[in-house]
Amino acid sequence: MPSAEPLAPLAPPAPPTAPAPPAAPPRRRGRPAGLSPYAFLAPFFTLFAAFGIFPLLYTAYVSLYRAELQTPGELEWRGLGNYTALFTDPFFWTALRNTFTMGVLSTVPQLLMALGLAHLLNYRLRARTFFRTALLLPYATSVAAASLIFAQLFGHDFGLVNRLLDLVGIHPVDWQNGTAASQIAVSSIVVWRWTGYNALIYLAGMQTIPSELYEAAEVDGASRLRQFLHVTLPGLRPTIVFTSTVSTIGATQLFGEPLLFEGSMSGGISHQYQTLGLYMYEQGWGFFHLGRAAAIAWVMFLLIVVLVGVNALAARRRSRKEAGR
Amino acid sequence: MSIPRTTPRAVVRIGAVALTGVLLAACGSGSGSDGASSGDAAGGDVTLTVDLFGSFGYQEAGLYAEYEQLHPGVKIKQTDTEDEQDYWKSLQTRLAGGGGLADVQAIEVGRIASVTQQQGGKFVDLNQYGAGTLKAEFAPAKWSAAATKDGKVLGLGTDVGPEAMCYRRDLFQAAGLPTDRTELAARWATWDGYLELGRQYKEKAPAGSSWIDSVGSLNAIMVGQQKERYYDASGALIYENSPAVKAAWDASVKAAGEGLSAKLDQWSPPWNQAFASGSFATLPCPAWMLGYIKGQAGDAGQGKWDVAKLPGGAGNWGGSYLAVPSVAKHKKEAYELIKWLTAPEQQTKVFRKQGNFPSATRSIGQIADAKDPYFSGAPIGQIFGDAAEQAPVQVLGLHDKDIADQINNALSEVERKGTAPETAWSNAKKAVKNALG
């Protein structure tokens, strides 16, 4: 296919430094082949340096000072004071705990439901494209719109959820002020928005599993459930690792949904659903303590690194075990 | 390779400049020159932006239209945030970034100390346009609160917040309580009397109706009756042991415990809806609240509301200033506008339309006889005028509003979650510490 050669972006290009066989025609003329990949990568890396590395380092720098938004000229050295203060800060621990519980409350059902939905969509059904598009619609909705709607659904007196509960004889739940109730309500927004997105990723993963495996399983008399457990799940492992990593990062940074649920930075009157992201925002842009906010940002960053590391380790151990079997 | 090499470098440079600009933003003081803006304005059209919170009533009183007529070529555009807390947050962020600021920004009196003590450089010293000559027009305390130690004048006073009690005649009647404002004022001469009436109301209240909108408003209005609240005159933080704060807290907790409150969150959408639906019978109201009630209760509320003297003496809650940020595009024109808007004649008009009580002394004299048909013809000029005269001159502190917000939040815990008052108070102290840093 000579005509497709320059257009195939996915084909791994031959390493330019590799000694080319003498018979091969020269691919580029007039340029030292060794530099051009770097030139093509340069825009990304310069942007990354400006908008990725620099803010990161600057945040680390600010986190060592007492820095206030209103009096930016008066930086006062605190060393690690902003970090150590977090250990005795009850609001930080509340936020950390909330981030964790809401992370579990949103990520686990989200990924399980996504798996199930993807499995269903993987069958040959009528109007498959319609269902796949419909799955992605919540993800396309803005977080602001979704949170506003959910806040109304979970309203105490006139919310639809409480009315439905009333029909089955359950007393109205205070979705705003109750600790568990408010966390469930906020998590449900996250679940609603991201389930379809993850389902599509799982679906893509499922379609890479060779159909011969399913055929063989069927010949062996495996039920649909057994096929799912013994063919689909093992085949999806890399995809599952990917989605759980991405979801963990997302859960650690959870911000928009709790912020917009009641429109308050404090995450409810008792901080009952204030996440780390929200707490950082409140410190920085509610109380204008930029140094402390920066310290929280770094703690969040390190937390994510640790969580992702644990995730990767678990995945590697799992697959090593599998290989040894 | 010259192009690919220099472009990234330029990108880096631009990116770095842009980022430093954003991140270090506030390090640079406002460097915009006013010469440029005032020069251009003489001939061409100027659009002045005005950014406010709550309800200042300028649009409602038709003042922008009037000003545009008086000054051909000037257009005024207003933006408005309902909740002052949100407004202040976004104002501070924009001040730090130095962008997105309107030509005229409003400042609540609870924030003015923070502006004069910390942000003198970020607002125009209005003296340079001759504001000094206006000093005699304003109540002395109003004027001096917006002045810095070194004599800069950073804002012109709009209104003050003399306090009264707003109530729903129709709901009072339905519950078998007296509706006459003088009689009520006598019955609730003290806060105990007010809570006692509340208990009576609760017994026969129409379904779905409570005595007061939130205990937060009760707390705020009571704190407003005191001279010293969160800080003492030397600027020391005293809120933890302040008798004024404690008295207001105790009364609020009591009202919450007895179920007198509709448990609404002030400035929230459910609170706004409750004005029309009659969820509460009384609303402690500074003068500026009248316009808010009119806006939320709408024409259907006409004649249902009334205003009576406040229990427990006179007080002041709120009141605002108009200021011009140093980076405003049209500083001179903005000054002309705020000078006109805060002039006695305009303050009088706003009061007659909206109820915001004037801070200009000459205006106060002009409105003594004002009555408001919306509030059943209540003599608001006299009620609020007396309150303004008798209200204590408050000691203003750096973080008045932040402290008030945190205490209010803790009170919400008591009224909405049933948190024990002691726990809530210790939560309030923690939250204040957290907020002040």
Asked if B409 lies within 8 A of A54 by C-beta distance, the reply is no
Q: B280: helix, coil or strand?
A: strand
Asked if A70 lies within 8 A of B118 by C-beta distance, the reply is yes
Asked if A69 lies within 8 A of B26 by C-beta distance, the reply is yes
Angstrom distance (rounded) from CA B418 to CA B416: 6
Question: Tens of pLDDT along B39-92?
Answer: 444 456 999 999 999 989 999 999 999 999 999 999 999 999 989 999 999 999
Asked if A46 lies within 8 A of B16 by C-beta distance, the reply is no
Interface test with A, best of B22, B23, B119 (most A CBs within 10 A): B23
Q: Which residues of A touch B437 (CB under 8 A)?
A: 66, 68, 287, 289, 292
Asked if B417 lies within 8 A of A289 by C-beta distance, the reply is no
Does the beta carbon of B1 lie under 8 angstroms from any beta carbon of chain A?
A: yes
Interface of B with A in 6-45 (CB under 8 A): 7-8, 11-12, 15-16, 19, 23-27
As given in the structure block, the two tokens for residue B345 are 């004649």
Residue ranges in chain A modelled with pLDDT below 70: 1-33, 324-325
pLDDT for B10 equals 44
Residue of A nearest to B1 (CA): A39
Nearest to A270 among B270, B402, B417 (CB): B417
The CA distances from residue A48 to A51, B10, B418, in Å, are 5, 14, 50
Nearest to B8 among A43, A269, A286 (CB): A43
Asked if B118 lies within 8 A of A288 by C-beta distance, the reply is no
Angstrom distance (rounded) from CA A249 to CA A243: 10
Residue of B nearest to A92 (CA): B434
The CA distances from residue B276 to A222, B256, B297, in Å, are 64, 23, 5
Q: Which residues of B touch A89 (CB under 8 A)?
A: 434
- Contact between A274 and A282 under an 8 Å Cβ cutoff? The reply is yes
Sorted by sequence, the CB contacts under 8 Å of residue B184 that are 6+ apart come out as B165, B167, B177, B178, B197, B308
Cβ-defined contacts of A238-245 (< 8 Å, 24+):
A238/A205, A239/A201, A239/A202, A239/A204, A239/A205, A240/A111, A240/A115, A240/A202, A241/A311, A241/A312, A241/A315, A242/A201, A243/A111, A243/A114, A243/A198, A243/A201, A243/A202, A244/A107, A244/A111, A244/A311, A245/A308, A245/A311, A245/A312
Q: Whose CA is closest to B336, among B35, B120, B131?
A: B131
Q: In 10 A of CB A133, how many CB atoms?
A: 13
Q: Whose CA is closest to B154, among B36, B30, B59, B60?
A: B30
Does the beta carbon of B402 lie under 8 angstroms from any beta carbon of chain A?
A: yes
Nearest to A90 among B119, B416, B430 (CB): B430
Angstrom distance (rounded) from CA B396 to CA B228: 8
Question: Which residues on chain A place their C-beta less than 8 Å from a C-beta of chain B?
Answer: 35, 39, 42-43, 46-47, 49-51, 54-55, 58, 66, 68-73, 89-91, 155, 157, 174, 177, 262-263, 265-266, 269-270, 285-289, 292
Nearest to B96 among A66, A72, A155 (CB): A72
- In B324-382, the DSSP E strands lie at 357-358
pLDDT for A321 equals 78
Residue of B nearest to A281 (CA): B89
Does the beta carbon of B119 lie under 8 angstroms from any beta carbon of chain A?
A: yes
Residue ranges in chain B modelled with pLDDT below 50: 1-42
CA angle at A213 for the pair A208 and A217, rounded to the nearest 5°: 140
Nearest to B19 among A46, A54, A177 (CB): A54
Nearest to A46 among B11, B268, B417 (CB): B11
**Residue appearing with tokens 């009061």:** B351
Angstrom distance (rounded) from CA A153 to CA A261: 11
pTM attached to this predicted model: 0.84
Q: What is the amino acid identity at position A314?
A: A
Interface A-B: count of C-beta contacts within 8 A: 90
ipTM over 0.85: no
Residue B105 sits at φ, ψ, to 5 deg, of -120, 140
Nearest to A35 among B1, B89, B410 (CB): B1
Q: Which residues of B touch A260 (CB under 8 A)?
A: none
Torsion of CA B80, B81, B83, B89, to 10 degrees: -120
**Residue appearing with tokens 């003329």:** A29
As given in the structure block, the two tokens for residue A318 are 């799992």
Asked if A269 lies within 8 A of B1 by C-beta distance, the reply is no
- How many whole angstroms from its chain centre is CA B250? 24
Residue of B nearest to A157 (CA): B270
Residue of B nearest to A179 (CA): B417
- d(CA B326, nearest CA chain A) in Å: 15
pLDDT for A324 equals 67
- Contact between A291 and A63 under an 8 Å Cβ cutoff? The reply is yes
Interface test with B, best of A48, A176, A270 (most B CBs within 10 A): A270
Interface of B with A in 250-279 (CB under 8 A): 268, 270
Q: B106: helix, coil or strand?
A: strand
Residue of A nearest to B29 (CA): A73
The continuous run of DSSP H or E covering B20 comes out as helix B2-23
Q: Whose CA is closest to B89, among B330, B342, B402, B432?
A: B402
Full DSSP string of B228-262:
-SSB-TTS-B-TTT-HHHHHHHHHHHHHHHTT-B-
Angstrom distance (rounded) from CA A9 to CA A40: 14
Asked if A55 lies within 8 A of B19 by C-beta distance, the reply is yes
Q: What is the DSSP letter of B12?
A: H
pLDDT for A32 equals 59
- Contact between B201 and B211 under an 8 Å Cβ cutoff? The reply is yes
